[in-house]
Amino acid sequence: MEGGIMDGPEVTLSRSEDDPSLQGCFSPKRAPFRFLGLALMCFMGFGSYFCYDNPGALQDNFKNDLNMSTKKFVLLYSIYSWPNVILCFIGGFLLDSLFGIRWGTIIYMSLTLFGQLIFAIGGYTNVFWLMMLGRFIFGIGAESLAVAQNSYAVLWFKGKELNMVFGLQLSFARVGSTVNFLVMEDIYNYVSKTLGYLGAECIGTVLFLATLTCVASMICTLVLGCMDSHAEKVLRRNEGEEPTIVRLTDVKDFKNIFWLVTWICVSYYIAIFPFVSLGKVYFIRKYEFEPAVANTVNSMVYSISAIASPLFGILVDKSGKNILWLVLSIIGSLVAHGLLAFTYVSPYVCMILLGLSYSMLASSLWPLIALIIPEHQLGTAYGIAQALQNLGLAITSIVCGIIVDNHGYFMLEMFFFTWLWISLITAIIIWISDSNSTGGYLNMSPKQRELYEKNPCLPQIMEREKLLSGDGSTSDLSGDDLLQPQSDTRMRNRYLTRIGAETPVHIKEFAHCVFPLYSICL
């Protein structure tokens, strides 16, 4: 890869390279600075993911200590998710238009911390409405924080390790939730047995202790804010640029391809999250697994993604070709669900395949948005994607429950199957429409993208130059080139150079480009 890790963003081109503030190993241009930032970005989300599943980890204790019915318990999760069907989008928009990324992150993190604190107070005093209020505020903060986290990642890593960073953030989310499930029970036992708290006070104390993770995340957010502010000054990011005004109406000018990507965010995830939430019983019923084993198999999707997401992220960073990976991962998921529905193949095989596909999808899909939408609207864009995904998941979780109760797990698999089909077809439509409108920008390798950004008509130029400059034989094409899908233009051009004919002027691929080299080449 030519644009190696050490290179700074292009906006710094105006600045002379021997500026003292760019020297030293803590220069914003150097890797240690960015990777410290990355660590902070990951830990920034840790608190919210840890606290999100606090009730889940202490489900029995909640019910016993607070005399909570299952219905009320479920409300603690609903109040988190339903408002975010809209608020996530607003959060993203405010990030772009009003707060800016640094202040936005700090504000959302504060909301998260504040919400969790109220939740803990509610638990301590056993006042249900206070707990609900806490979860509500926590939800607003945490979901918008996730949007801000994405925007931070794009700002710092676009064109470099962005896919890996997305993968790493995803795996950190999983780690946060897993750690919560592992330690909360022990913390509860410590508080109740060693410290001797009882009932609601015990739950409250445990929740206060959990709040410490949010405090830690808050500290990370503040440090990251300082680092970002430093980097902005040193790198003179945004300097001399007109501040772009972001309006809510910009949304309607978003490219169609963005909406297609969002549609995949909705349709694909339907086949993952609701499945995992119902999966345990499915494995017990269909494969006669013991509950503990069924739980392990079921959570394999997440445990695999915790490891595989960053690795796949690196793979996508190096190779580009996001859409190819996207299509492959959807096909992988289809196969996994197909095996689960139509065979008795070991669920371990199915879930490993599903876990790998899911990680691959996360690493290739979310960065696509950053490639489509201009940076100043990214918060809004990620907010929309996440809000619509929340909406889809909120509705389908209910639908899935109804399907299982009335028509069984087999029909549920059919339902997932259908949604995966829809997302596969959407991915193919994205592939086709992208290669028609930009010559396949989204599916380019990083090198091709870099060239393309300098001149949007470059793919054609490159091909023609390469072919016309040489002796016309295919020997000058490297093996790598031959492996790539051959565009029509390329096939035609190679044919023309071989026969020594002039390129007909009417080749339609060139018609929409202003092509300065055109006449020279000919």
73 or 421: CB nearest another protein: 421
Q: Tell whether residue 13 is a contact of another protein (CB under 8 A).
A: no
The answer to whether the beta carbons of residues 148 and 98 sit under 8 Å apart is: no
219 or 411: CB nearest another protein: 411
Please report how close the Cβ of residue 328 comes to another protein at its closest, in angstroms. 15
353 or 458: CB nearest another protein: 353
Burial of 439 (0-12, 13-18, 19+ CB in 10 A): buried
236 or 492: CB nearest another protein: 492
Please report how close the Cβ of residue 60 comes to another protein at its closest, in angstroms. 16
125 or 418: CB nearest another protein: 418
Query: φ, ψ for residue 236 (rounded to 5)?
Result: 50, 45
Q: Tell whether residue 407 is a contact of another protein (CB under 8 A).
A: yes
Where does this chain touch another protein (CB under 8 A) — which range of 149-157, 189-197, 403-411, 440-448?
A: 403-411
Quote the CA–CA distance of 242 and 188 in Å, as a whole number: 53
Q: Give, to the nearest 10 degrees, the angle between helix 100-125 and helix 31-52.
A: 30
Please report how close the Cβ of residue 334 comes to another protein at its closest, in angstroms. 9
Query: Applying CB under 8 A, which of residues 67, 342, 447, 453 lies at the interface with another protein?
Result: 342
Query: Applying CB under 8 A, which of residues 307, 341, 394, 517 lies at the interface with another protein?
Result: 341
Q: What is the dihedral of CA 433, 435, 436, 437, to 10 degrees?
A: 80
Amino acid of residue 488: D
Q: Compose the 472-501 pattern: x for residues touching another protein by CB under 8 A, - for all others.
A: -----------------------x---x-x
Count the alpha carbons within 13 Å of 283 in the hemisphere toward its beta carbon.
24
Q: Tell whether residue 216 is a contact of another protein (CB under 8 A).
A: no
Please report how close the Cβ of residue 184 comes to another protein at its closest, in angstroms. 24
109 or 270: CB nearest another protein: 270
Quote the CA–CA distance of 492 and 508 in Å, as a whole number: 12
Q: Tell whether residue 405 is a contact of another protein (CB under 8 A).
A: yes
Please report how close the Cβ of residue 404 comes to another protein at its closest, in angstroms. 6
Distance separating the N- and C-terminal Cα atoms of the chain: 31
The answer to whether the beta carbons of residues 221 and 113 sit under 8 Å apart is: no
Quote the CA–CA distance of 79 and 60 in Å, as a whole number: 20
414 or 462: CB nearest another protein: 414
Amino acid of residue 307: I
Quote the CA–CA distance of 149 and 172 in Å, as a whole number: 12
Where does this chain touch another protein (CB under 8 A) — which range of 267-275, 340-348, 371-379, 478-486?
A: 340-348
Please report how close the Cβ of residue 501 comes to another protein at its closest, in angstroms. 7
How many CB atoms within 10 Å of residue 136? 19
Site for another protein in 21-80 (CB under 8 A): none
Site for another protein in 218-257 (CB under 8 A): none
Please report how close the Cβ of residue 338 comes to another protein at its closest, in angstroms. 9
Query: Applying CB under 8 A, which of residues 189, 343, 474, 486 lies at the interface with another protein?
Result: 343
Alpha helices in 126-252 (DSSP H): 128-157, 162-189, 199-235
Residue whose tokens read 């870099």: 450
Please report how close the Cβ of residue 426 comes to another protein at its closest, in angstroms. 13
13 or 505: CB nearest another protein: 505
The answer to whether the beta carbons of residues 110 and 189 sit under 8 Å apart is: no
The answer to whether the beta carbons of residues 362 and 316 sit under 8 Å apart is: no
Quote the CA–CA distance of 266 and 423 in Å, as a whole number: 9
447 or 498: CB nearest another protein: 498
Count the alpha carbons within 13 Å of 497 in the hemisphere toward its beta carbon.
19
Q: Compose the 408-447 pattern: x for residues touching another protein by CB under 8 A, - for all others.
A: xxxx--x--xx--x--------------------------
The answer to whether the beta carbons of residues 330 and 423 sit under 8 Å apart is: yes
Please report how close the Cβ of residue 500 comes to another protein at its closest, in angstroms. 8
229 or 418: CB nearest another protein: 418
163 or 497: CB nearest another protein: 497
Q: Apex CA 151: angle with CA 217 and CA 259, to 5°?
A: 130
57 or 404: CB nearest another protein: 404
Q: Compose the 346-385 pattern: x for residues touching another protein by CB under 8 A, - for all others.
A: ----------------------------------------
> Two tokens at 457?
């008509």
Give, in order, the Cα–Cα distances in Å from 233 to each of 12, 23, 50, 58, 226. 11, 14, 34, 46, 11
Please report how close the Cβ of residue 73 comes to another protein at its closest, in angstroms. 15
Give, in order, the Cα–Cα distances in Å from 480 to each of 442, 445, 485, 497. 19, 11, 10, 21
Site for another protein in 267-306 (CB under 8 A): 281, 285-286, 291
Total residues contacting another protein (rule CB under 8 A)?
24
Quote the CA–CA distance of 424 and 267 in Å, as a whole number: 9
181 or 410: CB nearest another protein: 410
Q: Apex CA 224: angle with CA 98 and CA 12, to 5°?
A: 80
Quote the CA–CA distance of 207 and 187 in Å, as a whole number: 10
Site for another protein in 99-128 (CB under 8 A): none
Please report how close the Cβ of residue 498 comes to another protein at its closest, in angstroms. 9
Interface positions with another protein (CB under 8 A) = 281, 285-286, 291, 341-344, 404-411, 414, 417-418, 421, 495, 499, 501, 504
